[in-house]
Structure 1
Amino acid sequence: MPKRSAIQRHEWFAVVVAFAYFFCVLAAYYVVRPVRDQLSAAVGSTQLPIFYAATFVATLVLAPLFGALVARFQRRRFVPIVYLFFIAGMIAFIPLFRAQHAIDARLLGSAFFVYGSVFNLFVVSVFWSFMADLFDAEQARRLFPVIALGGAAGAIAGPALTKALVFAVGVAGLLVVSSLLLGSAIACIFALSRWSQRHPVAGDERRNERVIGGGFWTGAMETLKSPLMRRFALLMLLGDAVGTVIYALLADYSGATFPTPEARTNFAASIDLCANILQAVLQVSVTRALMVRFGPAPALALDGAVKALMLAALAIFTGPWIAIVAVVTRASAYGVFKPAFDSLYTRVDAETRYKTKNFIDTSVWRFGDLVVTSGFNLLRGLGATLPGFAALAMLAAGSSGWIGWRAAHSKALAPEQKDIATAEQT
């Protein structure tokens, strides 16, 4: 059997544009994420349940609107609408930050935390849903790790821009930079829509024009009644539990160590920069090789194992080790777990991709944040310390790896094209 190229000739344009699209999306997010994170550090982890409760409510309000757009508009129309909505929100914050001396800092910080969190959930979620609708399962195994590198590059450029510009242009200037990047992402969306019309998925030639029926509650009900989707939701919750515990511990460390907003912003950007560089290394050296040759199951299991090992070390070393744990676990979550987990959605129907995935990636995720941070405060009130939190998170990480392995081998998923591994080796 002749060796199959990793990227076919007709796929190159789509891969390059999708790479640029994800670069713009992640760079836009990571330009402003350190601003959000330094606000968390300023108030401490005890206030995080309030932040996450507000974010959860905002998600519940906006998710049905997203579902209504999906139900009414073709993909090439509603995806740009989502991005335009967040550009408008970014612009609305500019005068608020310019007049921040006259606005209560906690109130402005809470509002921006909610905006930044919802931005991350919806903008990134819709990107991967869009990708899953452009390519079939075989293409996803070959192309998703390459496309994900665009996000990795953007995630490196974003915090680097923040570190370079925050003292020169201020927060308001950073919001302008982020808005321009999102505008570039919209241009990429239109280019990919035109490409998909010329190169439709085999056997589903009208996928680009299809309107997905149903709404937000369709995704919620499907998640509850489907054993496979409940497993996906549980997998998301376990991964989120690990990340949220580490985020809370890191916020407390940053607040206690760095006295000024600028120093906390710089620290948060440094964590993002290091984590995202490591994420790119993992994608190049580990994730693509695992997914192309063996599918997503080993990548999901590896992510759980890496997180468990880092948390075990945190229980021993404590203190500044939390920064290293945050870097490694974030890199694994977005460089190993996410490409593997999202590739599973190419093996389910379009209704599931757009409704159930969005419900799990938004409402389930933020509900998990609220539960974990509330439980964090409750356990701390009962006397729990850092080693205890690390042990609980380590249990969640191990469970995530096991459930991820089982989910990837579920008989409820559509069969993969197993010959790709053989073709790569021939």
Structure 2
Amino acid sequence: MPDEAMRTIVTRVLRRTVDVREGETGALAWSFAYFFLILTSYYILRPIRDEMGVMGGVENLAWLFTGTLVGMLILHPLYSSLVARMPRRRFVPLTYRFFILNLVLFYLVFRVVEPERAVWVGRLFFIWVSVFNLFVVSVFWSFMTDVYCPSQSKRLFGVLAVGGTLGAILGSLITSLLAVSFGTMNLLLLSGLFLELASRASGALGRREGVLAQAAGVDHVQGEPDGKGGEVIGGGVLEGVGNVARSPYLLGIAGIMLLFTVSTTFLYFQQADLTARIFGDDSPERTRFFANIDVAVNTLTLVTQLFVTGRVLKWAGVGFGLAFLPLVSVVGFGVLAVSPVLAVLVALQVIRRAGNYAIQRPAREVLYTVLPRADKYKSKNFNDTFVYRVGDQIGAWSYTLVGALGLGFAGLSTTMVPFSVFWFGLAVWLGVRYGQIQDRKAVTVPTADHLRSLSGRPEDAIR
């Protein structure tokens, strides 16, 4: 039959390029499509969010970051309650359709709201998208770790990361090409359509879970489809916080997370300030500009994921992966202080974001591989969410404070140079400490495919 012949051809091509085995092709294809659709949906919205932030006033961005932190604190326990009470086949589509409903409501409100109140709706939309990106990507990766066993994840998660990057590129291109002609608000409905398709893909993947478990064979935990998903980690609600407070190693990880987010937020504010002055009231062109940055970032990320990430971390080590971004920041902020122009800012923004997605984030995730499961879930989650958003707050309000002291654009960039030097030193120390713990516990470092795959993990997106 033609369909069977086509499947055979696809399977053969996959096996020549990816280490995919019998029974895994269907699940891999749906997983790839799932992540592709998720990030297409988000990256359609991201430039619109950035434009709403500028439209609401650069001086008010710090308050929007505070609102994002509050939104996280409200929604996270509600989501956790869903997870605790419902099976995955119910809470995953329910979560996505909740966000789809939100998009429809925002579309309707933007259509009828009076112009003088549209700014406030835009600010709310900025906060909503900043929360949305964490949840939709987080649910995806939770699903993946639930249905793929460890040996499968090391072989196949790299392919999924590429799917996510391609989706991010498509979403950015859609907004870049259609923001003016199609209308910005109409893109909200298009984003919702991609999110619904992602929900359908998650259902199709769930129906192939049994076949995927059989393909795993003895590698799958106790032969159960859920693997470790049925195991209770136990411990207290604040166990992760306590472990971070008591462990210099975990505190160091929290430190590089904090330093990264502070500098990222600082650069984001500089971008908002400079683009507001250059583009003025030309909202569609500014949205197109933000989308073009996303296209450049995701294209560079894709190339790096495919050809650089695994090789760098394998041969240069985790310490180099951690130190790469602060080193780029030292040089980049130094150049920006001397030449505070848009081209330099865009170059620094693109290199930093791509370097984070493709190199630093995988290296940072590897740091947790030598820790107990409780730290991988509780302490890591505390660092990835609360510490990340606290870094946003520090970056937002410190930028406002330093600006109020009268420092110009070049002066603001100069303040980030010694900050990045300290970040570099901490990254080097963590790389050494990781090696010591790994040697003591004889922990095997993940494969290159696994390292590359981690660049598609949820942290991400929260930016």
TM range (shorter): 0.7 to 0.9
Correspondence for 1:185: 198
Q: CA deviation at 1:102?
A: 4.6
In the alignment, the residues of structure 1 paired with residue 142 and residue 362 of structure 2 have an alpha-carbon distance, to the nearest angstrom, of: 12
Q: Does 1:387 align with 2:429?
A: no
Of residues 333-342 and 254-263 in structure 1, the stretch that sits farther from structure 2 once superposed is: 333-342
In the alignment, the residues of structure 2 paired with residue 365 and residue 162 of structure 1 have an alpha-carbon distance, to the nearest angstrom, of: 27
Of residues 301-310 and 232-241 in structure 1, the stretch that sits farther from structure 2 once superposed is: 301-310
Root-mean-square deviation (CA), in Å? 3.2
Closer, same or farther in 2 for the Cα pair 1:159/1:394, shift >3 Å? same
Correspondence for 1:424: none
Correspondence for 1:8: 20
Q: Does 1:257 align with 2:275?
A: no
The match for 2:330 among 293, 305, 308 is 308
In the alignment, the residues of structure 1 paired with residue 26 and residue 381 of structure 2 have an alpha-carbon distance, to the nearest angstrom, of: 27
In the alignment, the residues of structure 2 paired with residue 140 and residue 253 of structure 1 have an alpha-carbon distance, to the nearest angstrom, of: 42
In structure 2, what residue type is equivalent to 1:232?
I
Q: When the two structures are superposed, what TM-score results if normalisation uses the length of structure 2?
A: 0.79
In structure 2, what residue type is equivalent to 1:183?
E
The match for 1:54 among 53, 67, 90 is 67
In the alignment, the residues of structure 1 paired with residue 174 and residue 426 of structure 2 have an alpha-carbon distance, to the nearest angstrom, of: 34
Q: CA deviation at 1:127?
A: 2.6
In the alignment, the residues of structure 2 paired with residue 419 and residue 253 of structure 1 have an alpha-carbon distance, to the nearest angstrom, of: 41
In the alignment, the residues of structure 1 paired with residue 241 and residue 143 of structure 2 have an alpha-carbon distance, to the nearest angstrom, of: 20
Correspondence for 1:79: 92
In the alignment, the residues of structure 1 paired with residue 62 and residue 191 of structure 2 have an alpha-carbon distance, to the nearest angstrom, of: 27
Q: Does 1:299 align with 2:321?
A: yes
In structure 2, what residue type is equivalent to 1:311?
F
Q: CA deviation at 1:328?
A: 1.2
In structure 2, what residue type is equivalent to 1:39?
M
Closer, same or farther in 2 for the Cα pair 1:402/1:51, shift >3 Å? same
Matched residue count:
418
In the alignment, the residues of structure 2 paired with residue 298 and residue 132 of structure 1 have an alpha-carbon distance, to the nearest angstrom, of: 27
Aligned ranges for residues 141-290 of structure 1 at < 5 Å?
Answer: 141-198=154-211, 199=213, 202-203=220-221, 205=224, 206-207=226-227, 210=230, 217=238, 219-225=240-246, 227-259=248-280, 260-290=282-312
In the alignment, the residues of structure 2 paired with residue 333 and residue 176 of structure 1 have an alpha-carbon distance, to the nearest angstrom, of: 30
In the alignment, the residues of structure 1 paired with residue 422 and residue 153 of structure 2 have an alpha-carbon distance, to the nearest angstrom, of: 28
Asked if the contact 1:149–1:280 (Cα under 8 Å) also holds between the matched residues in 2, the reply is yes
Q: CA deviation at 1:161?
A: 0.4
Report Cα offsets for 1:311-333 as digits up to 9, x if no partner: 33223322221111111111111
Asked if the contact 2:37–2:195 (Cα under 8 Å) also holds between the matched residues in 1, the reply is yes
Of residues 281-290 and 69-78 in structure 1, the stretch that sits farther from structure 2 once superposed is: 69-78
In the alignment, the residues of structure 1 paired with residue 297 and residue 447 of structure 2 have an alpha-carbon distance, to the nearest angstrom, of: 31
Correspondence for 1:41: 54
Asked if the contact 1:308–1:397 (Cα under 8 Å) also holds between the matched residues in 2, the reply is no
* Identity across the alignment (%): 34
Aligned ranges for residues 346-425 of structure 1 at < 5 Å?
Answer: 352-384=375-407, 385-395=411-421, 397-399=423-425, 401-402=427-428, 405-406=431-432, 408-409=434-435, 411=437, 416-417=443-444
Q: CA deviation at 1:58?
A: 0.8
In the alignment, the residues of structure 1 paired with residue 341 and residue 286 of structure 2 have an alpha-carbon distance, to the nearest angstrom, of: 17
Of residues 258-267 and 341-350 in structure 1, the stretch that sits farther from structure 2 once superposed is: 341-350
Of residues 389-398 and 376-385 in structure 1, the stretch that sits farther from structure 2 once superposed is: 389-398
Helix, strand or coil: the match of 1:168? coil
Q: CA deviation at 1:183?
A: 1.4
Correspondence for 2:31: 18
Helix, strand or coil: the match of 1:48? helix
Closer, same or farther in 2 for the Cα pair 1:214/1:91, shift >3 Å? farther
In the alignment, the residues of structure 2 paired with residue 68 and residue 265 of structure 1 have an alpha-carbon distance, to the nearest angstrom, of: 36
The match for 2:105 among 92, 105, 112 is 92
In the alignment, the residues of structure 2 paired with residue 79 and residue 316 of structure 1 have an alpha-carbon distance, to the nearest angstrom, of: 49
Closer, same or farther in 2 for the Cα pair 1:218/1:195, shift >3 Å? farther
Report Cα offsets for 1:175-197 as digits up to 9, x if no partner: 11111111122223233334444
Helix, strand or coil: the match of 2:308? helix
Q: When the two structures are superposed, what TM-score results if normalisation uses the length of structure 1?
A: 0.85
Q: CA deviation at 1:41?
A: 2.4
Correspondence for 2:455: none
Report Cα offsets for 1:385-419 as digits up to 9, x if no partner: 23323414533652464355257546389754459
Asked if the contact 1:41–1:264 (Cα under 8 Å) also holds between the matched residues in 2, the reply is no
Helix, strand or coil: the match of 1:9? coil
Asked if the contact 1:140–1:343 (Cα under 8 Å) also holds between the matched residues in 2, the reply is no
In the alignment, the residues of structure 1 paired with residue 115 and residue 446 of structure 2 have an alpha-carbon distance, to the nearest angstrom, of: 63
Q: Which runs of 5+ in 1 are unaligned?
A: 422-426
Q: CA deviation at 1:348?
A: 5.4
Asked if the contact 1:193–1:208 (Cα under 8 Å) also holds between the matched residues in 2, the reply is no
Asked if the contact 2:261–2:391 (Cα under 8 Å) also holds between the matched residues in 1, the reply is yes
Q: CA deviation at 1:226?
A: 5.2
Of residues 225-234 and 239-248 in structure 1, the stretch that sits farther from structure 2 once superposed is: 225-234
The match for 2:41 among 21, 28, 39 is 28
In the alignment, the residues of structure 2 paired with residue 16 and residue 295 of structure 1 have an alpha-carbon distance, to the nearest angstrom, of: 31
Closer, same or farther in 2 for the Cα pair 1:402/1:295, shift >3 Å? closer
Closer, same or farther in 2 for the Cα pair 1:230/1:208, shift >3 Å? same
Asked if the contact 1:162–1:269 (Cα under 8 Å) also holds between the matched residues in 2, the reply is yes
Q: CA deviation at 1:90?
A: 1.4
Closer, same or farther in 2 for the Cα pair 1:183/1:275, shift >3 Å? same
